[in-house]
Amino acid sequence: MKTWVYIDHFKGQALPASWEAIGAGKNLGTVTAVIFGQNVEPLAKEAFEQGADEVLLVDDASLLDYRAEAFCASLSKLVAATSPDVILFPTTTRGREIAAMAAIDLKTGVMVDVTAIDLQGDRIVVTRPIYAGKLFCKETCSSNPQIVTLRGRAFLKPKAQAGRTGTLTKASPAMGEADIKSKVEGYSTSESGVSLIDANVIVSGGRGVSNNPSLIPPPGLDEKQAEIWRAQQGFTLVKNLASTLGAAVGASRAAVDAGYVPYSHQVGQTGKVVSPDLYIANGISGAIQHLAGMRTSKVIVAINKDPDAPIFKVARYGVVGDLFQILPALTKAFKQSLGK
């Protein structure tokens, strides 16, 4: 099968999901990476190293900033000329949109946000979540090319091979600047913090977070204030890991009740019910009231010094240890792996 893989990037920085798409494409046959932008030839080198056999590059000032109609038009024109069997996209804001619009030009369909790809003869049959993941369906498309967007982290990135190269073909954009109706006027960062309900990753703290014996509270605090001070120190460790992972901060009822953290952070039967991809529970025993609020999380990690804590019954990974040592170490380890 001839598979094209759209490499999504922002200002020349590829989104890692694009390499996962190359990985998925390799399983189907030969892979041609498609790169649109301006001054993005370095991405071609990366694409070869990530496993692309060919690279189709359209490098033009009109493609410096993403504009749906321009990117779509160029892709459709190239596809019409060459007829790949399959086009894979990462499910990013741009990837989804280009796929959607190219499908209209090419009179075909798009299978969106898939978690698995199966090849049956010359037809791809995908698995994808529907109804917010309450159900899954198998989907297939009767027309060509078969266009698929891949869910992030569902497919393996290939191992990069330094120095690997392939065939680079350069092409021109399909639209001139004058014909493109939309104008990009600038970029900004958005202020919104991660809300618990929408978060993909949550790092939570429970009562155990306040019990760091090695912390000496400043003088002048009474017992209750000292406990809160200790807890806030502990929650700082929780927040540091959360911010490294781009995660929301959650808490058990015990932590909220004791005043360590506001009620809006409470996860549980009487707080918020969440279902993130990753839930890291620190110093939380795992009583049913808390579990009811996070039990459907995809991967649960528990850090607790009590080996019999019920939380370990639902956790995928656990550490029986001192969270005041493990948490900062974990934050450091992630900072290194995620390159932060």
Partner 1 sequence: MDFSLSSEHQMTQRMVQTFTQKEILPVIKEYDRKQEPIPFALKRLGELGILGICFPVRYGGQGMDFLSLGLACEELEAADTSLRVAMSVHVGLCGLTLLQWGSEEQKQNFLIPLASGKKLGCGVFTEPGMGSDVASMLTSAKREGNSYILNGEKMWISLASKADLALVTVRTNPASSRLSNGLSSFIIELDTPGITRGDIHGKLGVRAGSTGWINFQDVRIPVENRIGQEGEGFTITMSAFDHGRYTVASGATGIVRAALEASVRYAKERTAFGKTIASHQLIQEKIARMSQDYEIARLLYLQAGWLMNQGVRSTRETSFAKKFATEASFRAADAIQIHGAYGYSDEYDVERYFRNARGAIIYEGSSEIQTIIQAGYALGDRQEKPLRCELPAYDPVLWQNCE
Partner 2 sequence: MKIVACIKQVPDSAAKVVVENRHISWGDAPLVINPWDEFSVEAALQLKEKHGGTVTVISVGGENEKEAIKHALAMGADDAILITDPVLTGLDTQAIAQVLASAIQKIGGVDVAFFGRQAIDNDSGLTPSQTARLLNWPALTLAAVITFDGIRLKVERSTEEGRQAVSANLPVVVSLVKDYGEPRYPSFMGIRKASRAEVPAWSLANLGISAPASVISWPDIMNPPSREVVCEIISGSSPDEIASVLANKILGEKVL
Please choose which of partner 2, partner 1, none residue 135 contacts, taking the beta carbon within 5 to 8 angstroms, the exact cut-off set by kind.
partner 2
* Peptide bond just before 145 cis, omega within 30 deg: yes
Q: Which stretch binds partner 1 (CB under 8 A): 95-103, 196-204, 264-272, 304-312?
A: 264-272
142, 163, 220, 222: which one binds partner 2 (CB under 8 A): 142
Vertex 19 angle, CA 30 and 77, to 5°: 60
Does position 87 interact with partner 2 (CB under 8 A)? The reply is no
**Based on CB atoms, which residue is closest to partner 2, 288 or 299?**
299
Nearest alpha-carbon partner for 209 in 274, 289, 265: 265
Contacts (CB under 8 A) with partner 2, residues 174-193: 181-190, 192
The alpha carbon of residue 183 and the mean position of all alpha carbons in its chain are separated, in whole angstroms, by 28
- Burial level of 294, CB count in 10 A (0-12/13-18/19+)? buried
Does position 43 interact with partner 2 (CB under 8 A)? The reply is no
Number of residues that bind partner 2 (CB under 8 A): 85
Please choose which of partner 2, partner 1, none residue 142 contacts, taking the beta carbon within 5 to 8 angstroms, the exact cut-off set by kind.
partner 2
Does position 121 interact with partner 2 (CB under 8 A)? The reply is no
Number of Cβ within a 10 Å radius of residue 104:
12
> Residues 37, 14: contact at Cβ < 8 Å?
no
Vertex 118 angle, CA 52 and 166, to 5°: 10
Number of residues that bind partner 1 (CB under 8 A): 9
160, 298, 306, 340: which one binds partner 2 (CB under 8 A): 298
- The Cα 77–Cα 306 span in angstroms is 62
**Based on CB atoms, which residue is closest to partner 2, 148 or 254?**
148
Does position 278 interact with partner 2 (CB under 8 A)? The reply is yes
CA distances, 270 to each of 195, 251, 311 (Å): 17, 12, 18
Q: Which stretch binds partner 1 (CB under 8 A): 25-33, 169-177, 234-242, 256-264?
A: 256-264
The footprint of partner 1 (CB under 8 A) covers 253, 257, 263-264, 269-270, 288-289, 292
